[in-house]
Amino acid sequence: MNVLMLSPGYPAEMPEFTRGLAEVGATVIGVGDQPAAALPERARRALAAYVQVHSLFDEARTVSELKAELGGRRIDRVESLWEPLMLLAARLREALGVAGLDVAATVPFRDKEAMKRKLDAAGIRTPRHVAAHSVAECWDAADRIGFPVILKPIAGAGSADTWRCDDADELRAVLPRIAHVPTVSVEEFVDGEEFTFDTVAIDGEVRYYNVAWYRPRPLIARSNEWISPQVVALRDPDAPELAGGVAMGHAVIRALGFESGFTHMEWYRKADGEVVFGEIGARPPGAHQVDQMNFACDFDVFREWARAVTARRFEARVERRYNVATIFKRAQGQGTIRAITGLDEIVRKYGPAIAWNHLLPVGAPRRNWKQTLVSDGFLLIRHPELQTTLAIADEIGERVQLHAR
């Protein structure tokens, strides 16, 4: 099978998906706007060919360049696992006559308002929502929905440019900060715990799924620098308290007509038990959450995704052995990482539970925590018991500190 892989080297997990395709026997043709020499080595090794285009964000030109470069060569799949390139992948499928999500089917995965309208029509509970294109429309939407409200880009990913406004004064302060966003979704604020529902599907049938718990919910974590955010992949996604969200996730797959590949969904569970859908992407989660799935079940999710989209098979035996928590750290101070405190004690106490230490080393420049959830690195731990996992994660969040100056 000949597979076009868009952006095989970025973001960080893309080389693993590219590797997965090669390992299941696909001929992988990478497409990017950087020289092949700039790709990570793992991605380069997995590629049979590479086409450098002018810009992946100039969709019409990229389609034209690729059609000319391929010269009629048969392409069986076009894959993109990075949110901004979903529509480019769809346009390429249409231009090359390749099966998979076309533009019309892709739009609800990129446009949050289009997504919610389809789910509303299917009877799936979503937050009350209005698309707003101007300051006046934002005010009108907030008046119709009632405070508190959430403002977010209709085509955003993660919690970038997402704001909670509890009253008119907060809305007035936020509106200038999102003036660069052409269209925002003004939504009812749903007060509850936030979870994911991540799937690998084949022809619309979910063959593998994962539920992760955000501690705290991303909007809070992205608003407070001192917090060490956690993402916890749960060993028991079939627990009774999660059943409503899992069932809703399956219903969303059906309602949106998703075919084969990865999806990443987010949903809320309110204090009264009601579940409310958040959003979905036709892609895997970021911030190394697919690695979490590998550590939770001890199989290669990257390779099984590749097998699912190329051979319509999922061969791994899913044995959920561990809860897996990733604790993201943000350095205190600015500049260069000068010291890490508390880590040696944590390693002595919990060494066997620490599966991955990916903290920035001393001497590395501190990252901008507002631009990346990964921040200044993370510790990933796993343990069969959930309460033990949470206790270790909380201790890491409190005791392990990076210091910059």
pLDDT tens for 68-78 read 999 989 999 99
What whole-number distance in Å separates Cα of residue 209 and Cα of residue 305?
Answer: 12
Cα dist from 27 to 11, 183, 246, whole Å: 21, 39, 35
> What one-letter code names the amino acid at 238?
D
Determine the pLDDT at residue 155. 77
Determine the pLDDT at residue 158. 61
Determine the pLDDT at residue 347. 98
pTM above 0.85, yes or no: yes
- For the residues 187-216, what does the mean pLDDT come to? 97
> What one-letter code names the amino acid at 234?
L
pLDDT tens for 300-344 read 999 999 999 999 999 999 999 999 999 999 999 999 999 999 999
Whether the CA torsion 170, 173, 175, 177 is positive or negative: it is negative
Q: In the predicted model, is pLDDT for residue 298 greater than 70?
A: yes
Determine the pLDDT at residue 157. 64
Closest C-alpha among 338, 306, 404, 377 to residue 46: 306
> What one-letter code names the amino acid at 244?
G
Chain-centroid distance, C-alpha 276 = 19
User: What is the H or E stretch that residue 254 is in?
Assistant: helix 243-256
Least confident interval from 109-113, 155-159, 185-189, 352-356: 155-159
Contacts of 143 (CB under 8 A, 6+ apart): none
Closest C-alpha among 238, 201, 195 to residue 216: 195
Q: In the predicted model, is pLDDT for residue 231 greater than 90?
A: yes
Q: In the predicted model, is pLDDT for residue 112 greater than 90?
A: no
Q: In the predicted model, is pLDDT for residue 160 greater than 80?
A: no
User: What is the H or E stretch that residue 304 is in?
Assistant: helix 301-311
What whole-number distance in Å separates Cα of residue 332 and Cα of residue 328?
Answer: 13
ω into 216 cis (within 30 of 0): yes
What whole-number distance in Å separates Cα of residue 214 and Cα of residue 233?
Answer: 9
pLDDT tens for 43-82 read 999 999 999 999 999 999 999 999 999 998 999 999 999 9
Place of tokens 């939407």: 141
